[in-house]
A and B are shown apart, each in its own frame.
Chain A
Amino acid sequence: MDFNSIVTNGLQAFVGLDAVYFALLAIGLNIHFGYAGLLNFGQVGFAAVGAYGVAMSVTTFHLPFAVGVAIGLLAGVALALLLGLPTLRLRADYLAIATIAASEILRLCFRSVALSKWTGGSDGLNQFANTFANLNPFTPGAKYGFGPFVFSAPDTWSLLVGWTLVGLCVLLVFLLMRSPWGRVLKAIREDEDAARSLGKNVYWYKMQALILGGVIGSLGGMFDAAQTQSVQPDNYGTTITFFAYAVLILGGAARVLGPVLGAMIFWFLLSITETVLGQLVSNGYITFITSSQAGKVRFMLVGLGLILLMVFRPQGIFGNRREIALDAR
């Protein structure tokens, strides 16, 4: 057993690129679900329009990367409006149905043969973020970091940009949620009619929340696409949304830092279980599963962990026990 690699891989995943991607998705979901009570089951759809917004702008329409980023963010706004206009006047369930369907429709459109001229079909698009890669101030080939946190130059650059984005989004949520604007949002989560009876335009606030969380999701999708330099339709399946929910619930919903710490811990756990299981199999301690099966078993273990968390700590790791206890009354 190579404990050194277990710990190193785990800690690298703790602050890694996946943690950034899912932290952004979950910060968006936290605004939707944690603060406004909107059941968005299509967060991956926002990531997809962000990613494809930038990829198609650059590859298909030969626009500058920066314009592509703006288009990606606008695509997030447009998707939020499209989903919100018909459903936000209805009960919460309708938004859930519309969002999960929309995210699947988007994925199927992006991979369709008819549109492949623009979207690259099931192969997706590549090499559209050279501008992003060229901005990298770090020397190619060199390694950066300290202790276990050592990364290649491109990864260091991506992590720097990524965690800066996460920091800015966290600051945004922090400022908003301690303001009267955030108070209205939380009131809507608790009881729409009460907010309405006190003169708050519930529909408009829900729309603002849907747009804001959606755009942060699009930002996450764009970040992931830019640092991998590729978009592929099948990377935008519904599992991504549910991972983001797992991250949010693990960290604690309606907490400013909940989604960020949730993402870090989620990927840390996935990495640890993967390396440990992989080593146990390859060293012959476990004989009844193959190493490729071990990759699936880790999700079972993390799922089991989440179930136990919900039983013994329903508020998530950083949630507020007193607040959750109110639901039982």
Chain B
Amino acid sequence: MSLAILDGGTFYHHAAIHGGRYRELFDKTIYAPELTTEALAGVTFLIVPDRINPNVLRARRDVLIDFAKAGHTLVVFGENRADTWLPGVTWAARPTNFWWWLDKDARPPNRLLAPDHELFQAVPFENTIWHFHGVLTPPAGARVLIDVPADPEGRDSGGALLYEDRVTLPGRMLVSTLDPFYHHGSNFMPAATKLLDGFLPWAREKALRPGRGGI
């Protein structure tokens, strides 16, 4: 019954995970190259932050998959190439538009498809909106929580930025393209900090009381 997070060893993982703002929320911090099944003993909710070296994750994919197979919750953020190690994940790169918000009339393409999902009681949808790195195609039976329509330049037919998969493995997997740990830990984007302000306490609550909210 505990919340664990992988630490990729970058400065922004250090700031986000070991910094004062959130560190009390984590029962266990596991340096990603040291991830083992034993390290996950007692863990019910595991966060894989954005931008962990995918070579490390691929080398430990069995540990991660076994964790989800055991019925636990696995949350995987973006820029991890989860499509190369996590079952059910299909990802397509899309050139990142960092500048969508500079035009005052511009509206972000992000769409909230599951406003009733419990996550959004903790994380207001607007705190999930910034540039994004590619789109996900969820497996059949997964629930898309946030998506974007087809790329206006025709490079993809759209896809999910966040989905929940309870069908591929016995556990629950939340998969996202967003990279809040990088942006929060870099002192650079307030929306990312707001997302973590809502998400991490929610994750802790879910880890400690997995019976509530339908996990």
Tell me whether A and B are bound partners. Answer: no
Chain B residues within CB distance 8 Å of chain A: none
